[in-house]
Copies of this chain bind each other. A is one copy, B any other.
Amino acid sequence: MLRVLVVDDQALVRRGFAMVLSNEPDIEVVAEAGDGIEAIDAARTHKPDVILMDIRMPELDGLESTARILTEVGDETRIIILTTFDPDEYIYRALRAGASGFVLKDIPPETLVAAVRTVAAGGAMLDPTITRRLIARFAGELGTEQDYGERLDRLTVREREVLEAIADGKSNVEIADALFIGPATVKTHVSSVLSKLGLRDRAQAVVFAYECGLAKVGARDVGF
């Protein structure tokens, strides 16, 4: 059962969203709040799975409220930002604040419900126009058309496995252990990885792995 908190200063809007969500068998609206302060209190009290958060509110706006809930209360709660108007001015702040969703209030009810389920499952849901903008920004950032994949393709399967292990911060001995082979073999593989990719040492190999997408930020725990 997904536990949802609805935050909006307009009682009618609030009730509308709450009713739409309550109609779903797997969703329960555990509380409502009329401003940012109430929202933080309610988040602390009820620990909802998802919060629907309006931006324009008295006392404390939805973005500030979002940031404070995620840092002070806990980041297990997923927050979807709702807005009536043009998202331009808010979207960047919202994403930085840690929102998992950003949608316009005029979306159809089933989309809202889908958004709640999506963010609860760890995904993110943005308004399509925002997604497009993010993509454009992202694609623009990656200026050079170099295809690192091609360089990766030159590696054998085993070598790629070794490279992944290197990008995991493992030493040769640890790699040998993980792949059930001898340390000498690992050294052989490491050498061919470096020479095939034109790298000098394993540190550069780690950089390469991250840059070409073989290693992904957030996909691991830096515990070492």
Contacts and interface: CB of A to CB of B under 8 A. Distances in A.
A97 to B, nearest CB: 9
A26 B129 CA distance: 21
A89 B22 CA distance: 38
Interface residues of A, number: 70
Interface string A69-97: 01100010000000000001100110110
A218 B71 CA distance: 28
Copies in the complex: 2
A169 B122 contact: no
Most buried by B among A118, A147, A199, A211: A211
Contacts of A95: 135, 138-139
A129 B134 contact: no
Contact of A88 (B142, B143, B145, B216): B216
B218 A142 contact: yes
Interface stretch (A43-51, A180-188, A202-210): A202-210
Given A216-B88, A218-B144, A100 B132 contact: yes
A98 B75 CA distance: 33
Given A204-B169, A211-B217, A220-B211, A132 B142 contact: no
A121 B198 CA distance: 33
Contacts of A138: 95, 134, 137-138
A131 B125 contact: yes
A1 interface: no
A166 B124 CA distance: 33
A123 interface: yes
A171 interface: yes
Given A123-B128, A136-B217, A169-B201, 20 more contacts: A92-B142, A96-B139, A123-B127, A124-B128, A124-B132, A126-B135, A133-B218, A136-B218, A137-B138, A137-B217, A169-B203, A171-B200, A171-B201, A199-B224, A204-B224, A206-B207, A207-B215, A208-B222, A212-B222, A217-B217
